[in-house]
Amino acid sequence: MGVINLTDHEGDIHQLEAQPGEKLMEVIRDAGFPIEAICGGEGACATCHVHVQSDWYDKLPKPDPKELDSVEVAMTFEPGMSRLSCQILFSDDLNGLNVTLANDDI
């Protein structure tokens, strides 16, 4: 087990427990944070968009072309930070990962 540090829309930081193999989207959603994930984790809707702190971004497996196509249309897309949380599987290497909920409704 490990933790991720999630910054919410108010700027508050929360430590969430995560298990290896769990999708980051599920960790965030199951902890009660507002993440719609309307495609159910298929990488097609971008409603699970998060901003990954830049020093962590490069430690993640690279996004595949389908993920990039989806996330690039998000309102608050940031190159080098934006990822779909449903496409990130937690692992021991990601213990302490810092992510921020994207606010694409603004």
CA 38 to chain centre: 14
What is the C-alpha separation between 54 and 44, in angstroms, rounded? 23
H helices of the chain, where? 24-30, 54-57, 65-71
The reply to whether 39 sits near ligand FES by the rule CB under 6 A is: yes
The reply to whether 86 sits near ligand FES by the rule CB under 6 A is: yes
The reply to whether 68 sits near ligand FES by the rule CB under 6 A is: no
How many residues bind ligand FES (CB under 6 A)? The answer is 14
Binding site for ligand FES (CB under 6 A): 25, 37, 39, 41-48, 70, 84, 86
